[in-house]
Structure 1
Amino acid sequence: MFKLITWNIQSARSPAGGADLDRIIACLDRFSDFDVLCVQEVASGFAARDGSESGDQFAGLARRLPGYAAVEGVFTDTLHADGGRRRLGCMIFSRHPVLQVFRHSLPWPPDPEMMSMPRGVLEATVQAPSGLLRVMTTHLEHLSERQRMAQVEHVRELHREAWAHAACPRPGPPGAGAFAALPRAAPAILAGDFNMLPHSLEYLRMLASFADGTLAWRDAWQIAHPGRRHAPTVGLHSDAPASGLPFTFDYIFISADLAARVRQLRVDGSEEGSDHQAMLLELD
């Protein structure tokens, strides 16, 4: 059984508004064990919601998960007034070997009417017991629909390109040189906070077929729970919207060749710190 958890930890936010990495680990331990963990909104140098220090969460999470290979993707990196760096991004943790890593910047077309920040995709080729897996995690733009759709298109292009690499490996010598011909996996998992509602234009575009035969993305929720509405992943607790109705922004998409392996997908509705809930995917 292969288990993957994805969670927007919102800079390790606690219910009181501070940053508490130990609480994040405790919540994960309670939810499930995992082979791979994808986390979004990992911070360093930014203050927590209550104004307290958040610390270097990239290093802090890595220390707390010593049995896992830790891969970080920093997509916001700015100078702090004190001369240090302020960083925000994603991480992937894997208990299986990570053969190679890609850090992809996503499009950021100007949108003068909306606040926004740089975004990206973190990709790791994981040598799982059942074979190579391409694991990708991202956090798409929140306010700008224009930017978010451009980012969806780029994620699709990244998937198409990786699929082509898997079908036609690049030439190169074996060994440790920079031209070493490392494999690129065709089977893929794309997990994260997409800031889009089910059946929105961006969601439907993400799942659209490819003209060149690249296997399309499938929504793992629809496979595990056919005919059921998505479980909400945002606003279950104190951050519920004014309407009082929680909603879904977090997804786990899989390439179509993994569909038959989906055993379970569930949402942890108990955590009250981050305004997002963790999700667990199990594959046979």
Structure 2
Amino acid sequence: MNSKKIVSYSTILLFIILTAGYLYYQNNAIELSIYDFEHENIPGSFEGYKIAQVSDLHNKEFNGRLTAELEEQEPDIIVVTGDVIDRNRTDIPIAVQAMEEMLEIAPVYFVTGNHEMASGVYPELQREIDRIGVIDLDNSYERLEIEGQEIGLIGIEDPLFLFLDDIIEAGSEDLLIQERIEDLIEEAGTEFNLLLSHRAELMSVYAAADVDLALTGHAHGGQIRLPFINGLFAPSQGFLPEYTSGQYSEGDTQMIVSRGLGNSTFPLRINNRPELVIVNLRPQNSEGIVE
């Protein structure tokens, strides 16, 4: 073999090794995204209240690294915004173990994603969630209290769980979801309300329901993120999706979209590392000054 072929093969081998290393890093190195969320209706006793958002695990195992990151952040609560399992490789014990480890750190609240429904095994997962002490917040709410002051934590199930008769009666799927959120906010009776929902593409629905802050996922960060492009493709939004990562606003409603932690049908993330979201609540007075 001549020297030119040796150099050529060596270059190809080096390219393969570097590419494999880059893809491994992009799909396994957790990125921490921290948001300080200010709102005038957040009570003073909730200053610095820390919420960790885990979304779209899809049965991915991080071999303790996700747990270690959560422990270091010391959140007050952990919220899981759907797709803790994957319909294509459903493994309930992996999902349960992940949430058991979370429960050792803080109370855990859960809402369903589309993969919970599509898996066909959600009743079994739901039983396990209840058994270990995770709070199922689908179509429900909790009042979180500190020193006699409260905020509302609202949860909504994934639209795949909706019944056709209910959608027809409401007039549309979006109107049904809006009505349910509005009812939960009214029942909670709190000035500040935080919504847990899987779907980022329903931003206009959350705004119409006067949600203060929504935590969502589902978009997987657009899967492939390129310069000047938020993401290439997202479920339910298609190519060049509008909501993929970060903070968005519509009217008085804010939404934070997690890029998620796992993968599903498309097995790779590019320029789009797995993301753990941390939200710190900050009270704000009527002049817009953080207290």
Q: TM-score of the superposition, structure 1-length normalised?
A: 0.49
Q: TM-score of the superposition, structure 2-length normalised?
A: 0.48
Q: Higher Cα Rg: structure 1 or 2?
A: 2
More helix by share: 2
More strand by share: 1
Q: Which has the higher contact order (CA 8 A, sep 6+)?
A: 2
